[in-house]
Amino acid sequence: MSLDSYVTLGRSGLRISPFTLGTMTFGEDHGWGSSPEESTNILAAYLDRGGNSIDTANIYTNGHSEKIVGDYLAGRSALRDRVVLGTKFFGNLYEGDPNGGGPGRKAIVRQLENSLRRLRTDYVDIYWLHNFDPSTPVEETLRALDDMVGDGKVRYVGFSDVPAWATAEAATIARFRGWAPIIALQLEYSLLERTSEGELIPMAQAMGMGVMPWGPLKSGFLSGKYSSSTTGAVDTMRTQLVGAPREADYVVIDALNDVASQVGASPAAVALAWVRGRPGVTSTLVGARRLDQLEANLSALDVSLTEAQRGALNDVSTPALNFPAENNRTLAPMLQFGGATVDGRTSAVSPLLRTSSTRY
């Protein structure tokens, strides 16, 4: 696979690369990001390889990430039109201002105006709700977004880090009202964070939303820097922010490192290849502080895992999901199909069914 093996994002006409370039690290304002020059090199390398999907947010490095992307695309009108540029709203950049962030109409309008100014463009291709506010009426948010689509300032709408029930409610309201639909979700997903398989990913598949995972390397825990046998300090600039793997994480990390040695690829490439091949996933967010890190991540496009290797990673990282996930996975088919094979899956026969042949 290559970056120009484009995929359709959800129930829409938008096509994007299988890896989306995340730019949270663009700018050194937080003490651990990329310089504007290195960020520009990363952007150029991604685009030169056929990538077309760039993701940022108003709050990334306090707006500097958007400015770096905007400065690069400025004056390149043909390139800007080819790129699928997404940014997010919700984060507040103004201390003490209760309307500086969030999903209310006043906040959304101002955030978009500021993002367009920093990005030096008159529209964004995907405008993502970055987080969840249970008190703002969802109709207010959806109608404001629909107005922006109508005004030509936004092309598509996505949700990030919003509960499944709230996303489903919003998607249903938007559909009944004829407002701009939610075409995609951003959510954390990796070998060390699979709980989205309980509600969010099945909901996205059922409602026609593409899934764009973030954190596929779990803050670098799956990058190859860690193993249960590693001693001494690990080379990472964000340890104080993200911490270190838990003891239970090393079971998964060691299994990943083992599969990577079998494949002859880096653990990071194998972890990314695993995410890319999961059900429902459309495009995976990859970021980098240095150009060599980007190249290492993009090497995952060339990694193919055998069924045995993928199965080993699936088994060792199987999550404990909230009720009723396990009930629906095991009990429901047994009750419904009574041992029949349906859609290639064989069900069990309920022991209660076999206690007696009498039927009333």
Give the residue among 307, 226, 247 at the shortest CA–CA distance from 274. 307
C-alpha distance from residue 199 to each of 164, 186, 187, 283, 323 (Å) = 6, 14, 12, 19, 10
289: Cα within 13 Å, side-chain hemisphere: 13
Separation between Cα atoms, residue 72 and residue 62, nearest integer Å: 18
Please give the positions annotated as active site: 60
CA 184/CA 204 separation, integer angstroms:
8
Report whether 131 contacts 143 (CB < 8 A).
no
Amino acid identity, position 304: S
CB 132 within 8 A of CB 161: yes
Quote the distance between the C-alpha of residue 341 and its chain's center: 34
Main-chain dihedrals φ then ψ at residue 359, nearest 5 degrees:
-125, 145
CB 176 within 8 A of CB 146: no
Residues 6+ apart with CB under 8 A from 209: 10, 11, 167, 171, 182, 183, 184, 185, 203
Angle at 196 between CA 138 and CA 88, to 5 degrees: 45
d(CA 11, CA 1): 22
Which of helix, strand or coil describes residue 28?
coil
DSSP letter for 100, please. S
Asked if 73 and 79 touch (Cβ cutoff 8 Å), the reply is yes
Half-sphere exposure of 281 (CA within 13 A, CB side): 24
CA dist 318 and 329 (Å) reads 13
